[in-house]
Amino acid sequence: MTAITDLVIVGGGPAGCAAAVMAASVGVRSVLIEPDALCAKLQHIAAINNVVGGRASGPELAAAIAEDVARAELCEVDLGARVTEVRAYDDHVTVTMDTGRTISGSYAVVATGVGPVPVSVAPWLTVAAGTDPPTLWGAKVPGEVVGSLLVVGADRPLGTFLRAHPALGATVLVAYPPEDDYKVDEVRGDARVTLLPVARLSVSEDGGSALTVEWVDREDQPGSWTVDTVYMNLGSAPVPPPGALIRDTSGYCPPDRQHPRVITAGDLRSARFQRIMAATGSGSQAALRAYYGLRGVQSAKHGGSPY
């Protein structure tokens, strides 16, 4: 089925939701597409200290944003659908979903954010189970974490995780590649942590419920250990939908590189501004850019392009 709207918003995180609310406030109709719940990532942020407006936790903020979107009557929310293709033409865009629905609109705001770096892009790492282990930032304690656990990679959520769980009794083996060397100082003093700078690492099932970890360290020395749980912590990478999105050399999709009818917002733009307030600001700005385009207002007459 083909629908026609002013603005198709791909991704219902803070950036996409802000775009929907801002669009409605200036009379722009939109369809917002999100495979999960609105602002699902915020459910994993226990405490927030950099968002104005008095919301101190991620779940609180997610609930408030979802209420704002529900009040935006000009926005249709399509939950449970993933966008599989974005196409851009001179006078419209088309957005196709895995449900078979295709929407055409005048503009698209694409705000699909970042996802975990997959095992497949780490040549030094082998995980036998077939699917990527869960991310550390999504880990739930104490239910999932018992005995000893392996954290693969030393990205920033490691320090946050350890501070958030002072009572965690598990031994935490942190195996990390050379590019994460500069990140481990933050956790070096934690008695629960064993740091393991590796050259190669493999994780396999041992036939029972435990997992066998085997490695070769930077001095070419082999070693092994048994752990109960593995979490990935290699950082994140942009996840644009297939089609019209243009990536830079780092894989991100800066707004100024895109087709004039495709406006990127939030974490998808760059590795440097990955914060909630930056995402909502850029989502709002993206909706206003569509609004001015729909009204035929030239940016040069109004202070130029914000990008």
Residues of the shown chain interacting with ligand FAD in the complex, contacts defined by CB under 6 A: 10-16, 33-36, 40-41, 44-45, 48, 50, 82-83, 111-113, 137, 157, 239, 241, 266-267, 274-277, 279
Here the tokens at position 76 are 């249709």
Question: Nearest distance from residue 164's CB to ligand FAD, in Å?
Answer: 10
Question: Nearest distance from residue 242's CB to ligand FAD, in Å?
Answer: 8
Strands (E), the chain: 2-10, 30-34, 75-79, 83-88, 93-97, 102-110, 114-116, 125-127, 148-152, 171-176, 193-205, 211-217, 222-227, 229-232, 236-238, 262-264
Angle at 14 between CA 10 and CA 17, to 5 degrees: 55
Output 272 or 301, the one with its CB closest to ligand FAD: 272
Output 170 or 239, the one with its CB closest to ligand FAD: 239
* Backbone φ/ψ region at 58: left (φ over 0), alpha (ψ -120 to 50), beta: alpha
**CB-CB neighbours of 274 under 10 Å:** 15
Place of tokens 């002072």: 166
Question: Nearest distance from residue 293's CB to ligand FAD, in Å?
Answer: 21
Q: Containing H/E element for 194? A: strand 193-205
Burial class for 46, CB neighbours closer than 10 Å (0-12, 13-18, 19+): exposed
Place of tokens 């020395």: 221
Three-state DSSP state, 302: helix
Q: Containing H/E element for 213? A: strand 211-217
Output 14 or 177, the one with its CB closest to ligand FAD: 14
Output 137 or 215, the one with its CB closest to ligand FAD: 137
Question: Nearest distance from residue 200's CB to ligand FAD, in Å?
Answer: 27
Output 271 or 294, the one with its CB closest to ligand FAD: 271
The one-letter code for the residue type at 254 is P
Question: Nearest distance from residue 80's CB to ligand FAD, in Å?
Answer: 10
Output 198 or 284, the one with its CB closest to ligand FAD: 284
Here the tokens at position 222 are 């082999």
Question: Nearest distance from residue 182's CB to ligand FAD, in Å?
Answer: 20
Question: Nearest distance from residue 216's CB to ligand FAD, in Å?
Answer: 30
Output 172 or 211, the one with its CB closest to ligand FAD: 172
Report d(CA 176, CA 125) in Å as an integer: 10
